């Protein structure tokens, strides 16, 4: 016999007892073992997928929360900057009449309410935010009309001025009521 044949015989002799042990199982037992192994693998895979999905969902919730907080802080910072700009503008235009200052303070209070409502809207649901944006545009249009009217107040005097100031105040109050109602919908 050659060396390779002897090697094959030794390998066959070593494998034969192991093969014999395996052969003692019935096909049903082998099948059940396979089914059980697959079931365990499926359960483990499902568990790992669930853990991964939970981690992704948590990360998404945290990202949404962080984004909303950042938007809110940005809007608040913008509102504060707007107020400072308005104050600076009033200081620059100090020589203007008392009527203009009176009207500008009323408009500033409207602007502050718009800014506050806009900051609050940053954390609203998309549908509410869209409704808010549409409604606040109307309010801004009315506010712009008051800005134009404010320039004409300085040219009036006496009873005409008093009546114009009263009408101006009423319009400012209506705009503020509109802003409050819009803000309630958030």
pLDDT at residue 11 tops 60 = no
Largest CA distance in the chain: 133
- Give the tens place of pLDDT for each residue, 87-131: 876 665 543 468 888 999 999 999 999 999 999 999 889 988 989
34 occurs within a structural domain: yes
Position with higher pLDDT, 121 vs 8: 121
103 occurs within a structural domain: yes
CB 137 within 8 A of CB 105: no
- Give the tens place of pLDDT for each residue, 13-53: 555 544 445 557 888 888 888 888 898 888 888 898 999 88
Query: At 67, is the pLDDT very low, low, confident or very high (cuts 50, 70, 90)?
Result: confident
25 occurs within a structural domain: no
- Give the tens place of pLDDT for each residue, 141-178: 999 999 999 888 878 888 988 899 999 999 999 999 99
Give the residue carrying structure tokens 């499902």: 46
Please tell me the predicted confidence (pLDDT) of residue 89: 67
Query: What's the average model confidence in pLDDT over 134-139?
Result: 94
Domain of 99 in residue numbering reads as 30-184
Please tell me the predicted confidence (pLDDT) of residue 94: 46
Q: Which among 22, 38, 176 has a CA at the least distance from the CA of 112? A: 176
Position with higher pLDDT, 12 vs 185: 185
Chain centre to alpha carbon of residue 142:
29
Residues 30, 37: Cα–Cα separation, whole Å: 11
68 occurs within a structural domain: yes
Residues 62, 109: Cα–Cα separation, whole Å: 35
Residues 62, 151: Cα–Cα separation, whole Å: 49
20 occurs within a structural domain: no
Position with higher pLDDT, 169 vs 6: 169
Please tell me the predicted confidence (pLDDT) of residue 18: 46
Using DSSP, how many helices (H) and how many strands (E) does the chain show? Answer: 5, 0
19 occurs within a structural domain: no
10 occurs within a structural domain: no
Structure tokens at 124: 């609203």
pLDDT at residue 78 tops 80 = yes
Residues 123, 116: Cα–Cα separation, whole Å: 12
Give the residue carrying structure tokens 């200052």: 101
pLDDT at residue 54 tops 50 = yes
Please tell me the predicted confidence (pLDDT) of residue 97: 67
Number of domains in the chain: 1
8 occurs within a structural domain: no
């Amino acid at each position: 016999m050659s060396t390779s044949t002897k090697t094959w015989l030794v390998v066959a002799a070593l494998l034969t007892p192991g093969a014999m042990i395996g052969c003692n199982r019935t096909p049903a037992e082998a099948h059940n073992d396979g089914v059980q192994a697959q079931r365990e693998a499926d359960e483990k895979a499902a568990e790992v997928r669930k853990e991964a999905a939970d981690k992704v969902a948590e990360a998404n919730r945290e990202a949404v929360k962080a984004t909303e907080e950042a938007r809110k802080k940005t809007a608040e910072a913008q509102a504060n900057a707007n107020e400072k700009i308005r104050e600076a503008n009033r200081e620059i235009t100090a020589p203007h009449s008392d009527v203009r200052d009176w009207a500008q303070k009323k408009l500033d209070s409207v602007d502050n309410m718009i800014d506050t409502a806009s900051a609050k809207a940053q954390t609203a649901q998309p549908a509410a935010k869209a409704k808010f944006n549409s409604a606040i545009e109307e309010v801004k249009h009315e506010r712009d009309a008051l800005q134009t009217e404010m320039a004409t107040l300085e040219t009036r005097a006496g009873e005409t001025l008093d009546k114009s100031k009263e009408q101006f105040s009423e319009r400012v109050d209506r705009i503020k009521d509109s802003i409050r109602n819009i803000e309630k919908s958030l």
